[in-house]
Structure 1
Amino acid sequence: MRASRMFPALAAVTAAALMTVPATAVAPSAGTAVPAEGTYYVQSATTGLNAADAGGTVEQHRPRGDEDHQQWLLRASGSDHVLESVDRPGRCLGRDGAAAGVVDCASDSAVWAVDDVGEDRHLLREPGTERLLTVRPKPSGENYPAGLGVGGASELAHWYLTPAQPVRHPLPPAGDRTLDQVSFLTTHNSYANGVDGGFAPPFINLAPNQVRGIEQQLADGVRGFSFDIHQTPDGAILCHNSCFWVSSPVALWVDLQRIVDFLNAHPDQVVTVFLEDYVDPEVLRSEIERVNGLPDVLYDPARTGVRQNGWHTMDELIAADDRLLIFTDHSRAADAAAGLTRDQFGVMYQREWTVENYWSMGPGIGGSDWACYSRWYGAGENIPLTRTEPGFRPLFVMNHFRDVPVEATARTDNANALNRAERFCQPAARKKPNYLMVDRYDVGDPAAAVASLNRYWY
């Protein structure tokens, strides 16, 4: 380990406090601040899903940008406001008894008092009452119902009014940019490249996610890597689904060593690794301990006060030699039950530090689904893309690839990555992507999309 750190005073924060992800409390009182008139998404602060006109009813749907009747024009109506459908002039988001509906904008049931409850959240309240637009409570073991309702005060009645055209701020000077203000080109299944070794049975080897090895990816400017690791008698091995029949398999430590060697040769660079993780924690720890120099560059935000104070600047990370982040998608609860958590040896639990959209846009050919919604939203867990905490913004991993990597499709998809990021995923997450993850980064110029994202801060 290094002899000194940049933030020694913060290292004493207890592990128990760092492991806690606080829920946002319902504000005790409402103010009167209202966003300026304009076009907005009405976005649940609980689920991250958008209010959409669903043929006359109002439902929460996966964010789809300017598609699917999800944009609403906020305008004054006396001392209150209406939300008029951008696609159906004269029809507004309103009330139909205990349900939300699309009603005539001239009717009393279309009018809302918009109350500010802090943290950029609002209540949409029937004037003169305490009846609020709300997500309906979910039945035990199920997702929240699609249909929206009118009910009492709770966290489910908190809404973001997310601008369809958000204000973009110039990035601070290079030395002052924090990690969550920067975007990185990231490769999906970085190891499945047909160059460094085998990653699947031969018939799957014919469809690699990448066609350049890890060292070339680093030389080309890739700064985020995703690895699937599976457990075998030889340790943590990189492969798809199963390592059975894989010829010339590559161990995780081999590719991590390539990355650490690159960082040692380029002391001004920062790299992130995402693990799709199917190994025991002891196996992963043994694998990491094989990598020469890894402890010297490993960044552990839990030990440096990030959750309390926000992400460090890139210059601070470089000066402290905190230049390698490793995330796992594994469950903390499962590790704790086994007696060894991965963050004890510097691997962070992704759900605690990032948000991530669903991984697939569809099959390898044909139409694509650009909806941008959380990978971790379902009956058993709810981590919306909009999640924030006091003083801390989770990093946003934007997945932008298909089920099967087909070169022609990847070329088209990558050429449209910026379009999807700005029209669909940035409003869905209320932040820009920090990691743009793609197949076949060598086609369609996704690096240009990352360069454009790095011109501003959402």
Structure 2
Amino acid sequence: MRTPHALLATAAALAAAAVAPPAAADAAADVPPGGTYYVQSATTGLNAAAGKSAVEQHNPKGDEDHQRWNLLASGASYVLEDADTAGSCLGRSGDQARTVACTGPDAAWEIAPAGDDQYTLKVPGADRHLTVAAKPAGANYPAQLAIGSAGGLARWYLTPVRPATRPMPPADRRTLDQVTFLTAHNAYANGVDGGFAPPFVNLVPNQTRGIDRQLADGVRGFMLDIHQTRDGAILCHNSCTLVSKPVALWVDLQRMVDFLEAHPDQFVTVFLEDYVDPGVLRGELARVDGLSDVLYRPDRTGVRQNGWPRMADLIAANQRLLILTDHSRSADETAGLTRDSFGVMYQREWTVENHWSMGSGLGSSDWSCYSRWYGADLNIPLTRTEPGFRPLFVMNHFRDTTISGTAQTDNGKLADRAERFCEPAARKKPNFLAVDRYDLGNPAAAVDSLNTHTYP
């Protein structure tokens, strides 16, 4: 990651702000105050980024990649100046977004609220707006931003680069979506509880401590891969072929249920990378003693209408184990048995999640933060919200391959990436910080830091 550039503003724009007429002051009541923002598509969650001349939507990348814009009043309108390049503003040329001189007429925008903390950026005196270009069939939305008609593609968040956070509420008031949990990526792939992959892969475990030790160390989120064998749902990486002494899913779930029974003030979440038939999974869960006593069912408690409950209420009700699957609901409906009918929630309905990898175990890194579920066939931006409901945010922070030295360095930078890259990308605080080798680089310190505040 590069060192943040100093924020710059043009004298011309500042002078215009100082002499703005009363009309601009009235309009400002509906516009965020002057400051530095990301101009973030409400459709894709991606950020407007300044190039040599083009303005494109790019994966959110914090203070890198020319994605920060200074919002400044300019007469009765506003300009958005590239925070890294004095005098260069987000503007337009014809039907395309371009960087232009801040003092020119093509830099001015009328900014108006569009509901749900969203805004439109309109060309003064014309029915033309900054917009994401229409999506071609079978492709992603184009990178080049356009100037076009009003509508859903012309809605934007103006996300503060450094939002004013609020102190965390007292323990008896904080809700589930305000809390951050340390999460073990591929928690089962630890080389302690049993085999998890063919021999050559077994040499590079994602974790080095068993599930019981992970629970004792404060891990509260567990990512597990399950595959189907004649013995049921088994924990393996990629497949269970040639795996010596693999662990069954029910065995690790029993460990978690037993821990919860011994620690009645704790809450655990399980994420299943799920390759089994729903009937097989239902049978596996039925083997876990006490599971139904602690299982949390957000689908039955009005969460989508009223938001996430208080942690204290979940603990009082003994609803302390949330299980999520990445499996497709539509595929299960075709099979005739949905997983949420027996208490396993569909992750895409309840969470958002950033892309799963920062790169290979060695070499270049990709610290940008964008949705894992953004592509030609699926679009669930990290910014997704619904009336009364904000999905939980799963923040992945690991590589393709686990190398201890890289994990040590990455985990030491976890809080920085969360606060500088991923919080503004999702417009919410991460609820699950998923890492490899949680015993290295002190990722628990990042969890503690995030648990001191809430995102506005």
* Shorter-normalised TM range: over 0.9
The answer for the alignment partner of 2:251 in structure 1 is 254
Please say if 1:114 is aligned against 2:103. no
Residues in 1 aligned to 2:302 and 2:127: alpha-carbon distance in whole angstroms: 40
2: distance between equivalents of 1:144 and 1:186? Answer: 32
Name the residue aligned to 1:304: 301
Query: Residue in 2 aligned with 1:135?
Result: 132
Alignment of 1:100-249 (within 5 A): 100-249=97-246
Cα distance change of structure 1 residues 123 and 32 upon mapping to structure 2, 3 Å threshold: farther
8 A contact 1:31–1:115 mirrored in 2 = no
DSSP-derived class of the 1:192 partner: coil
Do the aligned residues in 2 keep the contact of 1:32 with 1:116 (CA within 8 Å)?
no
Alignment-derived partner of residue 51 in structure 2 = 54
Unaligned runs of 5+ in 2: 1-26
Does 1:286 find its partner at 2:283?
yes
Instruction: Read off the aligned partner of 1:86 and give its amino acid letter.
Output: A
Q: Which amino acid aligns with 1:398?
A: M
Aligned to 1:346: 343
Q: Secondary structure of 1:308's partner?
A: helix
Q: Alignment partner for residue 90 of structure 2, among 81, 88, 93?
A: 93
| Aligned residues with identical type, % of pairs | 70
Displacement of 1:128 in angstroms is 1.4
Contact 1:124-1:132 within 8 A present in 2 as well: yes
Helix, strand or coil at the partner of 1:262? helix
Task: Give 1:365 shift.
Answer: 1.3
Amino acid paired to 1:408: G
Distance in structure 1 (CA, Å) of the matches to 2:326 and 2:77: 45
Question: Following TM superposition, by how much is the alpha carbon of 1:315 offset from its aligned partner in structure 2, in angstroms?
Answer: 0.2
Q: Which residue type is aligned with residue 290 of structure 1?
A: R
The answer on whether the counterparts of 1:121 and 1:159 sit within 8 Å (CA) in structure 2 is: yes
Contact preservation (8 Å) 1:52, 1:68: yes
Kindly report which structure 2 residues correspond to 1:293-372, keeping only aligned pairs within 5 A, or say none: 293-372=290-369
1:76 paired residue among 61, 73, 78: 73
Is the 1:31–1:116 Cα contact (8 Å) retained in structure 2? Answer: no
In the alignment, does 2:48 pair up with 1:44?
no
Partner of 2:263: 266
Tell me, in whole angstroms, the C-alpha distance in 1 between the residues paired with 2:405 and 2:378: 35
SS at match of 2:172: helix
The alignment of Structure 1 onto Structure 2 pairs a total of residues equal to 429
- Residue 176 of structure 1 aligns to a residue whose secondary structure is coil
State the match for 1:391 in structure 2: 388
Q: Give, in whole Å, the separation in 1 of the partners of 2:390 and 2:234.
A: 32
1:243-272 deviations in Å (ceiling 9; x for gaps)? 000000100000000000000000000000
Q: Counterpart of 1:427?
A: 424
- 1:155-187 CA distances to partner (integer Å, 9 max, x unpaired)? 000000000001100011111000000000000
Distance 1:230 1:361 in 2: 25
Deviation at 1:31, TM superposition (A): 10
Cα distance in 2 for residues equivalent to 1:130 and 1:269: 54
- Cα distance, 1:79 vs structure 2: 1.5
Shift of 1:55: 1.6
Give the distance between the partners of 1:394 and 1:412, measured in 2 at CA.
Answer: 29
Deviations 1:70-108 (A, max 9, x none): 000000001210000011110000011110000000001
Q: Secondary structure at the match of 2:331?
A: helix
Cα deviations by residue, 1:214-267 (Å, 9 ceiling, x for unpaired):
000000000000000000000000001010000001000000000000000000
Q: Per-residue deviation at 1:367?
A: 2.5
- Amino acid in structure 2 at the alignment position of 1:112: W
Distance 2:318 2:390 in 1: 22
Distance 2:136 2:123 in 1: 26
TM-score when normalising by structure 2: 0.93
**377-386 or 126-135, which moves further after superposition?**
126-135
Identify unmatched segments of 5+ residues in structure 1: 1-29
- Partners of 1:71 and 1:115 in 2: CA distance: 20
Q: Is the contact between residue 44 and residue 135 of structure 1 (CA under 8 Å) also seen in structure 2?
A: yes
For residue 12 of structure 2, what is the aligned residue in structure 1? none
**What is the one-letter code of the residue matched to 1:137?**
A
Superposed CA offset, 1:105-156 (max 9, x none): 0001000000011211000000112211000110111110110001111100
CA distance in 2, matches of 1:333, 1:60: 31
The aligned runs of 1:436-455 (5 Å cut-off) are 436-455=433-452
Tell me the distance in 2 between the aligned counterparts of 1:146 and 1:95: 15
Runs of 4+ in 1 over 2 A off after TM superposition: none
- The one-letter code sitting in structure 2 at the alignment partner of 1:96 is S
Which residue of the partner structure matches residue 15 of structure 1? none
CA–CA distance in 1 between the matches of 2:364 and 2:413? 13
8 Å contact from structure 1 (residues 32, 115) kept in 2: no
